[in-house]
Every structure is written in structure tokens, then in C-alpha cells.
């Protein structure tokens, strides 16, 4: 992953199905990354950037994503149980069929988010 970042590859970073659980990935740039089905549970993703990233069916349960950026990220079917998104920015982020039970959106900037069906927009308190 470090080599990919260093070389600024125009190709998307392909981490589909990768086990990144519990990893310290603070501030990493996952722009256009393919993280479908990846396990990021318990990972530190504070201030990470997920612009146009694909996180479909990814496991983010218990991850820390404080002040992260999800710009046009597709998180359809992802598990965001107990994710800490305090101060994060979600712009046109797709959360359809995602599990957001216990997720913390306090002070998050939420713009045109596609929420799971039947879910009330979380309080940003």
C-alpha cells in the first residue's frame, strides 16, 4: 500500500476482500480505492480520505473514522456498527442497505447522503 501511495498510481488501489482489521491507517488516501468486502473492523481511519472509494459490503464495525472524508463513496451494504464518524464529512455518500446501528455522527457534515431505507437521519448533536 505504501508503494502505491508513493508512486501516486493512476490505477485504483485494489484491496477487495483484504483484512485490514485493527490497522492504524490514519490519514491515508483511499481515493478511488476498491475496498469491496474488505475487513476494516476496529481500524483507525481518522482523517482518511475515501473520495469515490468502493466500500460495498465492507466491515467497518467499531472503526474510528473521526474527521474522515467520504466524498461520493459507495458504502452499500457495509457494516458501520459503532463506527465513530465524529467530525467526518459525508458528501453524496451511499449508505443504502448499510448497518449504521450505534454509529456516531456528532459534528459530522452530512450532504446528500443516501441513507438506508427506513432509517431516520442520525442526529449530529
| CA atoms in the 13 A half-sphere facing the CB of 24 | 0
Q: Where are the domains of the chain?
A: 20-115
In this structure, CATH architecture of domain 20-115: 3 Solenoid (2.160)
pLDDT digits 0-9 by tens, 90-108:
999 999 999 999 999 999 9
Mean pLDDT over each residue of the chain, to the nearest integer: 92
Q: What is the DSSP string of 58-104?
A: -B-TT-B-TT-EEES-B-TT-B-TT-B-TT-EEES-B-TT-B-TT-B
Selection from 111, 27, 68 nearest residue 80 by Cα: 68
The pTM of the full predicted model, rounded to 2 decimals, is 0.88
Give the confidence band of 117 by pLDDT, cuts at 50, 70, 90: confident
Selection from 17, 63, 19 nearest residue 44 by Cα: 63
Amino acid at each position: 500500500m505504501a508503494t502505491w501511495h508513493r508512486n501516486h498510481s493512476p490505477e485504483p488501489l485494489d484491496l477487495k476482500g483484504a483484512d485490514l482489521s485493527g490497522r492504524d491507517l490514519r490519514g491515508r488516501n483511499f481515493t478511488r480505492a476498491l475496498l469491496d468486502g474488505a475487513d476494516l473492523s476496529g481500524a483507525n481511519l481518522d482523517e482518511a480520505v475515501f473520495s469515490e472509494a468502493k466500500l460495498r459490503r465492507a466491515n467497518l464495525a467499531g472503526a474510528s473514522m473521526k474527521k474522515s472524508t467520504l466524498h461520493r463513496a459507495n458504502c452499500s451494504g457495509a457494516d458501520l456498527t459503532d463506527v465513530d464518524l465524529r467530525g467526518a464529512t459525508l458528501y453524496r455518500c451511499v449508505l443504502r442497505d448499510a448497518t449504521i446501528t450505534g454509529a456516531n455522527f456528532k459534528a459530522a457534515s452530512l450532504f446528500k447522503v443516501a441513507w438506508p431505507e427506513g432509517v431516520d437521519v442520525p442526529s449530529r448533536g
